[in-house]
Amino acid sequence: TSILVIQGPNLNLLGTREPEIYGKTTLEDIHIKLDSIAKSHSIDLSTFQSNHEGEHIDRIQKAKIDGVDFIIINPGAFTHTSVALRDVLAGVAIPFTEVHLSNIYQREEFRKHSYLSDIATGVICGFGAIGYELALQAAITRLKK
Ligand code: DQA
């Protein structure tokens, strides 16, 4: 069983980027934690971060070829802009959870719309770094069924 975690633009800056909004946990800290949870369930977890939209598209297309079972994605700002990201997720038909550290409904108007939410298995937002762990737990439960 394999799960892919995808991190959108600027999430490589976690820890120093607007910590009052995104927290002080680094992306590496998050990935280490997810990896240990996955290992304890004998799940193969891969992580990917890119600031480039096309690289996201390529990575998700590759996930299909690789037989990835579930995707956990924080699309960052691409959430609110990218039809291409929506199309590839719909195209590969790999179930996915959309995660946001912040509560996007509490912020600027433009963050309230997501191109992905209506085709996601679930959406988790506003819980900070723990949101990824919740998403992973939910994915594991679903995959064990
Ligand atoms: C984010 C919310 C987005 O609106 C923003 O562009 C991000 C991070 C979050 O995790 O809260 O880059 O996805």
CATH (domain of 41): 3.40.50.9100
**Residue 41 annotated in active site:** no
Q: Out of 56, 100, 115, 132, which one is annotated catalytic?
A: 100
Rounded Cα distance between 86 and 39, Å, is 29
- Whole-number Å distance, alpha carbon 9 to ligand 1 midpoint, is 9
Six token digits for residue 112 = 């309230």
**Residue 132 annotated in active site:** no
Alpha helices in 67-109 (DSSP H): 83-92
Q: If you write DSSP's letter for every residue of 10-30 in order, what string do you get?
A: TGGGTTTSSHHHH-S--HHHH
Q: What is the mean pLDDT of residues 83-89?
A: 98
Angle formed by the axes of helices 83-92 and 53-66, to 10°? 0
| pLDDT above 70: percentage of residues in the chain | 100
CA distances to 32, 65, 107 from 137, in Å: 15, 24, 27
Domain that holds residue 22: 2-144
ipTM more than 0.85?
yes
SS3 105: helix
Rounded Cα distance between 110 and 140, Å, is 32
Per the confidence metrics, is the pTM higher than 0.95? Answer: yes
Rounded Cα distance between 130 and 49, Å, is 18
Residue in 20, 21, 104 to alter for ligand 1 test, most ligand atoms within 8 A of Cβ: 104
The pLDDT, as a whole number, for residue 10 is: 97
- Whole-number Å distance, alpha carbon 60 to ligand 1 midpoint, is 19
Domain count of the fold of the chain: 1
